[in-house]
Amino acid sequence: MRNSDQLYRNCSFMVTTERISTMLVCVHGKADDHVFGEILSCYMERPVVFKNVGELVLRIDEICNWIGTPHPSTEPRFLSRSMGNQYRDRMEGKNNVPVKAKIRFQDSSQLISRAVKARATLLVTIEYRLYSSLQGRVQGKLTQGKAVPFRSAMELMRMIQEITLS
- What are 56-81's pLDDT values in tens digits? 999 999 888 887 788 888 888 899 99
CB 120 within 8 A of CB 129: no
Q: Is 73 part of any domain?
A: yes
DSSP states of 85-149: HHHHHHHTTTS---GGG------HHHHHHHHTTSSEEEEEEEEE--TTS-EEEEEEGGGTT--EE
Q: Is 44 part of any domain?
A: yes
pLDDT bracket for residue 46 (50, 70, 90): confident
Residue 133 backbone phi and psi in degrees, to 5: -145, 180
Q: How many domains does the structure of the chain reveal?
A: 1
96 or 21: which leads in pLDDT:
21
**Which residues form the domain of 51?**
4-161
Q: What is the pLDDT of residue 107?
A: 64
Q: Helix (H, G, I), strand (E, B), or coil: what is residue 50?
A: strand
Q: Is 48 part of any domain?
A: yes
Distance CA(128)–CA(51), nearest Å, equals 24
Residue 14 has pLDDT above 60, yes or no: no
Q: Is 166 part of any domain?
A: no
- The winner for highest mean pLDDT among 5-14, 42-51, 142-151 is 142-151
pTM: 0.80
Q: Is 155 part of any domain?
A: yes
Q: Is 100 part of any domain?
A: yes
